[in-house]
Amino acid sequence: MQHRSILFTFLACLLGVVSHAQTYSILIKGGTVIDPKNNINQVMDVGIFEGKVKKVAKDIDPKEARQVVDAKGMYVTPGLIDIHGHVFFGTEPNHYLSNGLVALPPDGFTFRVGVTTIVDAGGAGWDSFSEFKNNVIFNSKTRVLSFLNIVGQGMRGGNWEQDTADMDPNLAAGVAIKNRNDVVGFKVAHFQGKDWKPVDNAVKAGKLANMPVMVDFGGSTPPLPLEELFMKHLRPGDIYTHAYTLLEGNIRETIVDEATQKVKPFAIEARKRGIVFDVGYGGASFNYSQAIPAMKAGFYPTTISTDLHTGSMNGSMKDMLSIMSKFYNMGMDLPAIIKASTWEPAKVIHREQLGHITEGAIADVAVFSMRKGNFGFYDKTGYKVEGKEKLECELTVMGGKIVYDLNGITSPIYLTK
């Protein structure tokens, strides 16, 4: 009987160890969870198991997790969603952002700043999408989605993007519908003519596929009027990117009157109508002279995005966290910034399974610290705003796996097999 009692005790202990070890694969402990969808902004723990968020609660026992992330003093948020990047990278000359040398491989530029989902904004068109899917989407750890260019050749630059004969809404919609897991909408960009056809064809494709349209608008002199774009051509839910830009040469109307420093009334009405205002920072698409008065008027971006490519990342844009830090230093509060970088873009692209830390949701999670110091945030004109705080990514979890850990805040850092 004594041997049997010892055996039962041993088995019970063994089962207890196994059950504890299997409760959570990752436990993110002690951080301030900011989850705008669920209105959470407080210190909580996040337990992850089998690729999903298993539990969000206070004081989860660290003995129940295989790996524990010490997030004390840090912010824990959903994985960031960058809805305007350029990741259709390749080696073809004269291909610009469509299988060309100016786009970037996503995995090298996403996880290190907390981005788990990036949308390629128009690099691929209906004619080049299969190559983008096979080369980039299938071979990236980052979740890569696509705004399909209304131009069949995609964003090759030059005359390719001026060819209205290649802007076929039916072919574009057909490719989008066939690839609903990967395509989230349509893109219009870089058209320089005095013609609404590119926008109208993209919107037609959007109606056929039930998807939004992102518009990089302007190029003609004088520019086509923004009010007409917002009120007569776009639909609620469509996206106006590069919202805070002032381009030289009077080729794109601004949303802020540079003389009065007031947000134009039609922009306010467009927002009420449901037009999405996206940052789309880019290499030349953000000016403090537009952003600062807009912030003072409470005209905040619906979504924050990078317009990532080789030019913007080495210019004033840098990365997603640099832009978020700019808006923080302009007075936008951190929960609103997180919302514009997670839950709002998830809704805009109709991917509501992303952008939040709900129990049962996909475990895309980012951990950030707020660095203290003296920082300079400048725009393309050289205008600089100085700040004392800057977001820095400490750790990124993608689909329940740690894909980036800056300072080894995970214990153990690596699991032994």
> Which tokens hold the place of 188?
């219009």
What's the Cα-to-Cα distance from 17 to each of 10, 13, 27, 417, rounded to whole Å?
Answer: 11, 6, 17, 17
Q: How far apart are CA 276 and CA 147, in angstroms?
A: 15
Q: Is 20 annotated as a binding residue?
A: no
Identity of the amino acid at 124? A
Question: Can you list the positions of beta strands (E) in 133-283?
Answer: 143-149, 183-188, 213-215, 239-240, 256-257, 262-263, 276-277
Distances (CA, A) of 125 to 40, 82, 97: 39, 19, 11
Chain centroid to CA 319: 11
My answer on whether omega of the bond before 105 falls inside 30° of 0, hence cis, is no
84 labelled binding-site residue: yes
Taking the C-alpha atoms of residue 300 and residue 278, their distance in angstroms, rounded to an integer, is: 9
Task: Flag whether 190 is marked binding.
Answer: no
Residue 242 labelled as part of a binding site: yes
Q: Which residues pair with 353 in a beta bridge?
A: none
- Is 197 labelled a binding residue? no
Annotated binding site for Zn(2+): 84, 86, 187, 242, 307
Annotated binding site: 84, 86, 187, 242, 307
